[in-house]
Amino acid sequence: MSEAIGFRNVRKSFRRRGGELPVIDGADFALARGEFVSVLGPSGCGKSTLLNMAAGFETADSGEVLAGGAPVTGPDHTRGVVFQQYAVFPWLTVADNIAFGLRLAACGIPRDRHAAIVERYIGLMGLRGFENAYPKELSGGMRQRVAIARAYAPGPELLLMDEPFAALDAQTRESMQELLHDIQLTERRTVMLITHSVEEALFLSHRVVVMTPRPSRVSEIVPVGIPFPRTPETRLSPEFIG
């Protein structure tokens, strides 16, 4: 099975007043194409650092980060990112936020297909009727729907999500987890999801990485019961987990 993102003996420290802060002390794992992997671990252990290296926002001190077998040298349209908040452009409408990545030349999707793609994600993310709204007119949950739609729309192989639901209330979070689960049943992208919630990780993932306090070594990814490749029939219900 081919690899969507791979870490090969990756180390990362941050320079700080008073010396070095070693954060990642050897990350050695890979996500297969189409696989959904969650990353759990205590605050400050380096989860975002790991994701930022996959996104190309941070570089490793040593080792290699490979996307589709090629070294990651910076952010590009093959990897979509969703953050906890501030992830949508306040000056753009919902439709224009979703179209944003499509309009970047590097994306390579012809212009005459953009409207149909935006329309598809408006539908999938339950945003119909909000096409011309601005983010400030939306609830936090709706804004995250826009952020997720914007990440999926240009068709990236890999989606990197850094605690996308952490700022939402419990009920909204649950409906967003359902939505992400259902989107993945049709889209089947590779997802690396950072979360604080064990329930969320078990509900959504094929495998889970549990990081130790820093400096973290990351090598073992534990299968969590949802067979890979996943089919709709293998869905775990929230009742089963909770």
Quick check: helix, strand or coil at residue 150? helix
Binding mask 185-214 for ligand ADP (x = CB under 6 A): -----------------------------x
Residue from 10, 47, 99, 121 in contact with ligand ADP (CB under 6 A):
47
Q: Which residue has the tokens 């952490």?
A: 166
Cis omega before residue 229 (within 30°)?
yes
Shortest gap between Cβ of 23 and Mg ion (angstroms)? Answer: 11
CA-CA distance, 121 to 54, in Å (whole number)? Answer: 24
According to the binding rule CB under 5 A, does residue 216 interact with Mg ion?
A: no
Contact call for residues 5 and 190 (beta carbons, < 8 A): yes
Binding of residue 114 to ligand ADP (CB under 6 A): no
| Interacting positions 21-40 with ligand ADP (CB under 6 A) | 21, 23
Q: Identify the burial level of 180 via C-beta atoms within 10 angstroms of its C-beta, where 0-12 means exposed, 13-18 middle and 19 or more buried.
A: buried
Q: Which of 27, 39, 40, 48 binds Mg ion (CB under 5 A)?
A: 48
Question: Angle at the Cα of 220 (from 217 to 225), degrees rounded to 5?
Answer: 145
CB closer to ligand ADP out of 23 and 179? 23
Residues 49-68 that bind ligand ADP (CB under 6 A): 49
CA 22 to chain centre: 24
Residues that bind ligand ADP (CB under 6 A): 14, 16, 21, 23, 41, 43-49, 214
